[in-house]
A and B are shown apart, each in its own frame.
Chain A
Amino acid sequence: MAVAIGAGALALARPGSLDTLLLYAVLAQSWNLIGGLAGYASFGQVVFFGVGGYLTALAMVRLGLSFYLAMPLGGLGAALFGLAVGDLVLRVRGLYFAVATLVLAGATKAVLSSWPGLAGPSGVLTITTVGLHQPTARPGPLGFDAVYLALAAVSTAGVSVLVRSRLGDSLAVIRDDEDLAGALGIAVRPAKVAAFSLSGALAGLAGGVYAFQVTALSPAVLFAPLLSVVMVAAVVAGGAGVLGPLRGAVLLWLLSAGVGSLAPELRDVLVASLIVAVVLVEEGR
């Protein structure tokens, strides 16, 4: 298990920097909402990151909106995307849900890759950061740290409110015995879709910040499958609840600072092992 978690730690460039730690924290809370609290282990959570990132970039580039307006729009768009597809993918559980979300992320990435209007002929969408036409002055490294920190704080506060809410109770029952939930008066599908959509909002917001940080965007950058694995691994390593995902984010961040890069084939094997391990642990509980 520890080895598999290490695989997730390789996901992002610039390991060890503060922004990476805070990004991991937001992503871990995002996954926590659906994988931890509701017990639906999503392996395509990066789809929200990508959707939020692209929407943020498009709002800045095409509409000339400020980043601080575009990023919430990206989060909202990711949440709506979750509402739209949630009812479909949340019909299945366990390994089937893992596969459904993997396919969702892969298909969305493929559609965006072959969409001619999305970027120029190069396939790269660029957020202008120099000259007269930049919509928002690009913050320095400390500025991005501050934005990520705010997101991580909002995510954690949101999760701590949610676990004590009626929706939090509903998700706990759904996680432990979904078939019982209806008898207790819990409307299962709306509760699951709400959790999926909220988790999408958090990942989408993170994707928006990341997009502005990276500026040159392609599906390969915003839909990197390893990001999905980071989210799973952080919660698996740190535990669900309110603080577990933060512990997991720190652990992954430390690992990613220490571990170099592995051969892609080895990474794929490790990712696959992680998926199987997580699903087996979930089913066996």
Chain B
Amino acid sequence: MTGSTTRASRPASRSPGPTGTSDPAGDCGEAAPLLKVRGLTRRFGGLVALEEIDLDVEVGRLLVVMGPNGAGKSTLVDLLTGYLRPNEGGFRLDGVDLTFSPRWSLARSGITRTFQVPRPLARFDVRENVRIAARCGSPPRPGRSAAERQAAELLSETGLDGQASCYPAELSLASLRRLELARALAGRPRLLIADEPLGGLAGADIDAGIALLRTLARPDRGVIVIEHAVRAVLQVADELAFLHHGRLLRRGPAAEVLADRAVVDAYVGAGLLRRGLL
């Protein structure tokens, strides 16, 4: 265990708003953020997938991480959930260093995630998928019948109650993405991380998905959402972090970040590149 779960001075009055230039780990006079990422770096051979990332997430807020394909977004999700280990840097949840905790321990400490490619348990129906996650997540871990009740509540919160008895093979992509969210919520997260929860959706499904995402941040829970689409980002983000080639290019209120010259260049550049125009 690392020592610094408590802080000497912790004034209750200050609002923990995001600071554009965060000072290093030992800051004073700010309430400790829920999640504090510092210097997080991950390389794959010669490729630097993430470089020196600093990020804070506060409870009650939703941070969108945006960036072109290959920017390192999923790598960030994997590092925060034990699916990858960093080469340098680390992160704290509620002041506790969890950088090298095993996956199950991270989940039980309150960091749960969805996967960019949905991975439901195919042998179980929707209700069972969520019940199992409720039973195994962070403490207090419910018994079987309490887990069933929690699952039923989550299915109605995520709009899946009509499909509770469906098997994953019968679900649309939109429903599969909702199931991913319901299952991650079932683990009673302090920090919920959703990797492209709107990915591949269209039309009304996107609007419904945006409405759902806007309900996720709670007074006791912070949220990270990976998302591409500008319209969705503007509607769900309390704060936006823009990644490019593994570097954190800009971070702040969504409208400001999206208006930033470097971000526009990176994004438009990537778009043109995709269309073969650059």
Contacts and interface: CB of A to CB of B under 8 A. Distances in A.
A192 to B, nearest CB: 12
Contacts of B115: 180, 183
Given A182-B104, A184-B136, A185-B137, 9 more contacts: A166-B135, A166-B136, A166-B141, A173-B136, A176-B122, A182-B107, A183-B103, A183-B112, A186-B136
A177 B136 contact: no
Contacts of A184: 107, 112, 132-133, 136-137, 183, 187
A180 B119 contact: yes
B135 A177 contact: no
Contact of B121 (A166, A177, A182, A185): A177
B186 to A, nearest CB: 8
Nearest to A169: B132
Interface in B129-147: 132-133, 135-138, 141, 144
Interface string B182-226: 010001000000000000000000000000000000000000000
Interface residues of A, number: 17
Contacts of A112: none
B113 interface: yes
A181 B104 CA distance: 8
A207 B25 CA distance: 59
B136 A185 contact: yes
Interface string B62-84: 00000000000000000001110
A1 interface: no
B121 A170 contact: no
A62 interface: no
A188 B108 CA distance: 13
Interface in A168-199: 169-170, 172-173, 176-177, 180-188
A133 interface: no
Contacts of A170: 136
A188 B119 CA distance: 17
A173 B132 contact: yes
A102 to B, nearest CB: 28
B135 A169 contact: yes
Interface of A: 164, 166, 169-170, 172-173, 176-177, 180-188
Contacts of B104: 181-182, 185-188
B123 interface: yes
B102 interface: yes
A173 B103 contact: no
Nearest to B103: A182
B187 A185 contact: yes
Contacts of B107: 182-185
Nearest to B102: A182
Top 3 closest pairs, chain A to chain B, by CB: A182-B103, A185-B107, A187-B104
Nearest to B112: A183
A163 to B, nearest CB: 11
A216 B81 CA distance: 55
A164 B144 contact: yes
A101 B81 CA distance: 32
A166 B187 CA distance: 14
Contacts of A166: 135-136, 141
Contacts of B119: 177, 180
Contacts of A173: 121, 132, 136
Contacts of A169: 132, 135-136
A28 B163 CA distance: 36
A187 B141 CA distance: 14
Most buried by A among B103, B124, B141: B103
Contacts of A172: 121, 123-124, 132
A273 B123 CA distance: 27
Given A173-B121, A176-B121, A176-B123, A183 B113 contact: yes
Nearest to A164: B144
A127 B151 CA distance: 55
A185 B113 CA distance: 11
A177 B119 CA distance: 8
Contacts of B108: 185
Contacts of B123: 172, 176
Nearest to A185: B107
A180 B107 CA distance: 11
A184 B106 CA distance: 9
A177 B183 CA distance: 14
A191 B275 CA distance: 49
A177 B115 CA distance: 13
A173 B113 CA distance: 16
